Structure 1
Amino acid sequence: MLYYEEQCVRERRILKPTIGFIGTGVMGKRMANRLLEAGYDVHTYTRTASKAEELLQNGAIWQESVKELAKQTDIIITMVGYPSDVEEVYFGTEGLLENAVNGSVLIDMTTSSPDLAIKIAEKANEKELHAIDAPVSGGDIGAKNGQLSIMIGGEKQTVDQVLPIFKELGQNYIRQGLAGAGQFTKMCNQVAIASTMIGVTEALVYAERAGLDPNIVLESISGGAAGSWSLSNLTPRVIKRDFSPGFFIKHFIKDMKIAIESAEKMGIDLPGLKLAKELYEELARNGEENSGTQALYNYYA
């Protein structure tokens, strides 16, 4: 009988694993909804229960703690705020690493420290678990439409096992290497975005001061050499003076700090990234930490 039950569990995991989702902020909520729409059973937990209400209405199952969620699910996705939050969720007697069922896959999609991703993977291996770091880019729009870019670090066999999940969440999902490689790649992404945001914002300010119609300018330059995701997706929001968060300034500052610390360990100086961090920190001091990254416009305004 025990063998039969274990066989049923294995078959269920292969056909349609049960997913645990921890963290239902701007991005996490949309990602979890995508998985519900795809027919997965999704269990959820978040420290602020009210943030999970929409998911519960859409069929998600609430768990009272990280520990309880870990015991009920096969694949667990975390999408929290800061590396300290990741550590809290994964480590300790109530954390995922102590309570997940043997063979479970733990996927951290938070933008976090590469060193922490490696630490989690090493501990997971000791516990007969599998860990993947898979931070994302694409903002709230990409999360809602299943068009995220997913940067993946982990063992190839484990990554292949969860590819159907990544396919529901993103249109660009690439394994970069072993544990930590996903987070290193996300730092590359954030380094590129930081200077890009300065450029697209200054271009808009310049166009407006010159008396040009910013919408027409955007139409002209977005398809040329200046084209970028930030220009096409965030500049229209700025023109409408919409600074609501697709990605919080406070989280972008966190990412830039991680990238700078990581670069310094490698002996690299990144002056463009440091400048962007200073500008965003000025905005945060002026009460903009919960605005979207496009609110960089307000620094100039």
Structure 2
Amino acid sequence: MIAKLLQAGYQLEVYDIDPAAATDVLEKGARWHDAPRDAARDCEIVITCLPLPHDVFDNMTGEQGALAGMVPGSVWIDTSTTDYHNTIEIARLAAAIGVDSLEAPVSNLSHMGVDFANVSFFVGGPLKAYVRCETVLQTMGAISFHVGDIGQGQSV
């Protein structure tokens, strides 16, 4: 999904707990940062795609978390297919600093789905944030659907 954004001309700031996992996208033009906070600093849209709820929570919150670098009016999109309770709590923290949140769990998160942007997003969160980010979601995948409030994307 990151490669598709780079191909479309987006400038990407990246962080991963395992720097080797970012090698491919760094070679394609993404810029590395040593903490989620630094990767998120002043970005309009921050996207996470992580394996477990605690990974999402740890990367979004705390002194080094992405929320610490995000500015009011920015949007966090969580494409992780995890636990919507976790997403709701992070969305609450984000709202307190003026950041909108979208949960957009990915269907077909396989090698074939990701490499060919053949994934679908079922998006929960504020409609205005979805509309603002729809082009980014369509770049990363085949289609996206706004399905309601935060928490409803995981439910679908």
- Report the TM-score, using the length of structure 1 for normalisation: 0.50
Find the counterpart in structure 2 of residue 177 from structure 1: 148
What is the CA–CA distance in structure 1 between the aligned matches of 2:47 and 2:62, rounded to whole Å? 18
Match of 2:133 among 152, 157, 162: 162
Q: How many Å apart are 1:84 and its aligned residue?
A: 0.7
Q: How many Å apart are 1:121 and its aligned residue?
A: 1.6
Structure-to-structure mapping, 1:32-71, within 5 angstroms: 32-71=2-41
Match of 1:84 among 51, 54, 63: 54
Amino acid at match of 1:169: M
Confirm whether residue 130 of structure 1 aligns to residue 130 of structure 2: no
Given that 1:75 and 1:104 are in contact with CA atoms closer than 8 Å, whether structure 2 keeps it comes out as yes
Deviations 1:143-166 (A, max 9, x none): 111120111000000000000011
What is the CA–CA distance in structure 2 between the aligned matches of 1:140 and 1:157, rounded to whole Å? 31
Match of 1:120 among 76, 85, 90: 90
Higher relative contact order (CA 8 A, sep 6+): 2
What is the CA–CA distance in structure 1 between the aligned matches of 2:37 and 2:69, rounded to whole Å? 6
Q: How many Å apart are 1:140 and its aligned residue?
A: 1.8
Structure number with the higher strand fraction is 2
What is the CA–CA distance in structure 2 between the aligned matches of 1:171 and 1:32, rounded to whole Å? 14
Q: How many Å apart are 1:55 and its aligned residue?
A: 0.6
RMSD: 1.1
What fraction of aligned residue pairs are identical, expressed as a percent? 30
What is the CA–CA distance in structure 2 between the aligned matches of 1:148 and 1:133, rounded to whole Å? 15
Instruction: Name structure 1 gaps, 5 residues minimum.
Output: 1-30, 186-301
Q: How many Å apart are 1:58 and its aligned residue?
A: 0.5
Confirm whether residue 74 of structure 1 aligns to residue 24 of structure 2: no
What is the CA–CA distance in structure 1 between the aligned matches of 2:29 and 2:68, rounded to whole Å? 27
Structure-to-structure mapping, 1:142-291, within 5 angstroms: 142-185=113-156
What number of residue pairs does the alignment pair up? 155
Match of 1:110 among 80, 85, 94: 80
Deviations 1:82-141 (A, max 9, x none): 001011011112212232122111111011111111112222111100111001011221
Instruction: Name structure 2 gaps, 5 residues minimum.
Output: none
SS at the partner of 1:151?
A: strand
Given that 2:103 and 2:150 are in contact with CA atoms closer than 8 Å, whether structure 1 keeps it comes out as yes
What is the CA–CA distance in structure 2 between the aligned matches of 1:96 and 1:44, rounded to whole Å? 11
Q: How many Å apart are 1:49 and its aligned residue?
A: 0.6
Given that 2:42 and 2:69 are in contact with CA atoms closer than 8 Å, whether structure 1 keeps it comes out as no
Deviations 1:41-80 (A, max 9, x none): 0111101111111111111111111111121422110011
What is the CA–CA distance in structure 2 between the aligned matches of 1:59 and 1:72, rounded to whole Å? 18
What is the CA–CA distance in structure 2 between the aligned matches of 1:98 and 1:71, rounded to whole Å? 8
SS at the partner of 2:122?
A: strand
Given that 2:35 and 2:65 are in contact with CA atoms closer than 8 Å, whether structure 1 keeps it comes out as no
Given that 1:107 and 1:132 are in contact with CA atoms closer than 8 Å, whether structure 2 keeps it comes out as yes
What is the CA–CA distance in structure 1 between the aligned matches of 2:58 and 2:41, rounded to whole Å? 17
What is the CA–CA distance in structure 2 between the aligned matches of 1:56 and 1:170, rounded to whole Å? 21
Given that 2:138 and 2:144 are in contact with CA atoms closer than 8 Å, whether structure 1 keeps it comes out as yes
What is the CA–CA distance in structure 2 between the aligned matches of 1:53 and 1:46, rounded to whole Å? 10
